[in-house]
Amino acid sequence: MASEIMLRGVGRRTGIALWRQIADAIRAGISSGLGDETGKLPSETELAEQFGVNRHTVRSAISALVNEGILRAEQGRGTFVISPSRLTYPITRRTRFSASLAEQGQRGVSRLISHDIIEAHRDVATSLDLEEGVPVLQINSVGTSDDTPVSRTTAWFDHARFPDLLSHLKTTNSVTKAFAASGLDDYVRQSTLIEAYHATLDDIEIMGLSPGSIVLVTHAVNADLDGRPVEYSKTRFSADRVNLQIELGSNAAED
């Protein structure tokens, strides 16, 4: 079926090598159902025709994707898609990190990789409704689904209000449970801002992305039921591996 979704979209003298443009197009096409039922891509010659380039150029693109672990090339048989599907990450008033990932990917986990007590600077202070310079707990974690890193998060918490949060985080490995152990039973998503940019070197290293790939960034504030912010987080999702699903709430008549 669908194998001419991408067709054209490559240009020259753009500062982006043709082989990378084609690699990006194939990677994007895979999530929208490129490749037949067996996951077999069109032949190099066919792809070269579709994109209007030389077969060598297509080979460079495929070679890069094989290197990323997205494709597998078998001599005499063809080129095959390895991980065909894209994760859908829900954003709701009650978004819970680890739970959401686990629902779709079989083994979704969030792993704490570093932490620190720092002074809140502008963005963090305003988001958490604190004075600049007060101590906040900053944690970095990586979200994984089926052994593939799909996101990385930096989150900040008011250290004065939750002095023992870090130790709870380490034992429970869950923000929700750590909050509960700190006496906060429930919290809701207060605001979410979404932007997108090209992966930085850090993104590339930590999430195993390829240069030039896209990162979806959410800036989120969670608040307790009184509306006081308790967590500010910045999560970078690999746009090749996840979509964001916004749930604005019940769609019954609102009044």
11 binds a copy of itself (CB under 8 A): yes
Restricted to residues 40-99, the positions that interact with a copy of itself (CB under 8 A) are: 60, 64, 88, 91-94
Q: How far is the CB of 167 from a copy of itself (least distance, A)?
A: 28
Residue closer to a copy of itself by CB (options 69, 171) is 69
Restricted to residues 187-216, the positions that interact with a copy of itself (CB under 8 A) are: 188-198, 200-201, 204, 210-212, 214, 216
Alpha carbon separation from 167 to 85, 99, 114, 150 (Å, rounded): 36, 21, 13, 25
Provide the residue type at 73 as one letter.
A
Length of the chain: 255
Q: How far is the CB of 19 from DNA (least distance, A)?
A: 4
What 3-state class would DSSP assign to 254? Answer: coil
Closest to 186 measured CA to CA, from 245, 226, 159, 138? 226
Total residues contacting a copy of itself by CB under 8 A comes to: 55
Rg (CA), the chain: 21
Q: Which does 214 bind (CB under 5 to 8 A by kind): a copy of itself, DNA, none?
A: a copy of itself
Q: Which does 200 bind (CB under 5 to 8 A by kind): a copy of itself, DNA, none?
A: a copy of itself
Structure tokens at 134: 């007060």
DSSP string, 91-144: E-TT--HHHHHHHHSTTEEEEEEEEEEEE--HHHHHHHT--TT-EEEEEEEEEE
Residue closer to a copy of itself by CB (options 110, 210) is 210
Restricted to residues 158-187, the positions that interact with a copy of itself (CB under 8 A) are: 186
Q: How far is the CB of 95 from a copy of itself (least distance, A)?
A: 9
Q: How far is the CB of 47 from DNA (least distance, A)?
A: 8
Q: Give the count of alpha carbons within 13 A of 36, CB side only.
A: 8
Strand 214-223 vs strand 229-238: parallel, antiparallel, or unpaired? antiparallel
Q: How far is the CB of 98 from DNA (least distance, A)?
A: 38
- Chain residues in the site for DNA (CB under 7 A): 12-15, 17-20, 41, 43-46, 52-54, 56-57, 59-60, 62, 73-79
Q: How far is the CB of 190 from a copy of itself (least distance, A)?
A: 5
Closest to 79 measured CA to CA, from 35, 48, 49, 23? 35
Residue closer to a copy of itself by CB (options 183, 227) is 227
| Of positions 24, 44, 158, 231, contacts a copy of itself by CB under 8 A | 24
Is 104 buried (19+), middle (13-18) or exposed (0-12) by CB count in 10 A? middle
